[in-house]
């Protein structure tokens, strides 16, 4: 087979069916579907008021009607976990959406203009990439006060260059394809070529990367909330719950920290695995 034919086979394979996800991929997808459902309907699913404090039940273990027991303030843990899903996913969703749009736009501009534009943007990616996002988050939180919005902005600045770098390489390959040259000769505008032809061909790559990124985002934002730099207590949020459960953990009541931590890790792993499987299935690793 010639190089061209191999390339063609790879491109055809991109459209292969979901059945190629594999057992692990399907499992990850199932976990994500459950999480998304809980994030959407957590309040309705919660058996109890997640914010109702009753010191009498502080750190009480499972009793009928309260399968996970209570936290240090006597709030129902299961309810807080279910309601906390939304807060734990809204941040990552905003973060991934912002970083994906920004990273994709910058990568396309770099790949399309090439020359010094590409050199400048690539250097910018490298510098920004080297700067730790958590440090930036601490800096911004000191300047503007701690909160989810500030944490999302800080991590967007950290995530954008890493997607930008990855996508730029792929976009360079795509913009070098002969169909792009042919469209230029046929008088298509730059915007038409990039938006209607190059971008759709990069979508499998972008989607897979965004899903993988979502996994990191749940952990990083959960971590920032844990440090008190993201979602603020008393909001029910997994990162906040991991932190809030820490003192009780030392006193021998690990349920809150363990349950919230498990949810965070499970979400991160599920998104990571699904993104990875999709990338492999579409031939865009």
Residues lying near another protein in the complex (CB under 8 A) are found at 2, 4-5, 7-8, 11-12, 177-179, 181-190, 192, 197, 200-201
Q: Which is nearer to another protein, 24 or 195 (CB)?
A: 195
Question: How far apart (Å, rounded) are the C-alpha atoms in residues 251 and 65?
Answer: 24
Residue number, 147 or 283, with CB nearest to another protein: 283
Closest CB to another protein among residues 77, 202: 202
Identify which of residues 15 and 37 has a Cβ nearer to another protein in the complex.
15
Give the C-alpha separation, 15 to 46, whole Å: 40
Cβ 208 to another protein shortest distance, Å: 17
Compute the least distance from the CB of residue 114 to another protein, in Å: 13
CB 102 within 8 A of CB 160: yes
275, 214 contact by CB (below 8 A): yes
Q: How far is the CB of 175 from another protein (least distance, A)?
A: 12
Residues 6 or more apart in contact with residue 267 via CB below 8 angstroms = 31, 32, 35, 88, 89, 215, 218
Residues whose CB falls within 8 Å of the CB of residue 77, separated by 6 or more in sequence, listed in order: 66, 68, 69, 70, 71, 255, 256, 259
Token couple for 77 = 């843990």
Closer residue to another protein in complex, CB, 194/264: 194
6 phi and psi angles, rounded to 5 deg: -60, -45
As measured in angstroms, the least distance from the Cβ of 210 to another protein is 19
In contact, 50 and 241? CB cutoff 8 Å: no
- Least distance in Å: CB of 9 to another protein? 9
């Amino acid at each position: 087979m010639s190089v061209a034919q191999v390339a063609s086979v790879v491109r055809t394979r991109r459209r292969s069916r979901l059945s190629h996800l594999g057992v692990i991929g399907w499992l990850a997808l199932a976990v994500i579907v459950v999480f998304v459902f809980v994030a959407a309907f957590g309040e309705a699913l919660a058996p109890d008021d997640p914010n109702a404090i009753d010191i009498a039940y502080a750190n009480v273990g499972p009793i009928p009607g309260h399968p996970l027991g209570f936290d240090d303030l006597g709030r129902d843990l299961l309810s807080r976990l279910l309601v906390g899903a939304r807060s734990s996913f809204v941040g990552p969703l905003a973060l991934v959406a912002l970083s994906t749009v920004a990273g994709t736009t910058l990568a396309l501009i770099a790949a399309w203009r090439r020359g010094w534009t590409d050199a400048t943007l690539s250097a910018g990616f490298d510098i920004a990439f080297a700067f730790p996002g958590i440090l930036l988050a601490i800096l911004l939180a000191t300047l503007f006060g701690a909160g989810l919005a500030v944490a999302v902005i800080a991590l967007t600045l950290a995530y954008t260059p890493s997607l930008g770098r990855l996508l730029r390489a792929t976009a360079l390959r795509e913009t070098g394809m002969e169909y792009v040259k042919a469209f230029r000769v046929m008088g298509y505008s730059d915007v038409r070529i990039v938006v209607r032809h190059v971008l759709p061909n990069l979508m499998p790559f972008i989607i897979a990367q965004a899903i993988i990124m979502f996994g990191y985002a749940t952990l990083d934002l959960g971590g920032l909330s844990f440090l008190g730099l993201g979602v603020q207590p008393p909001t029910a949020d997994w990162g906040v719950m991991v932190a809030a459960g820490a003192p009780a953990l030392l006193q021998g009541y690990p349920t809150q920290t363990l349950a919230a931590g498990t949810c965070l890790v499970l979400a991160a792993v599920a998104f990571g695995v699904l993104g990875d499987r999709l990338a492999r299935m579409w031939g865009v690793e």
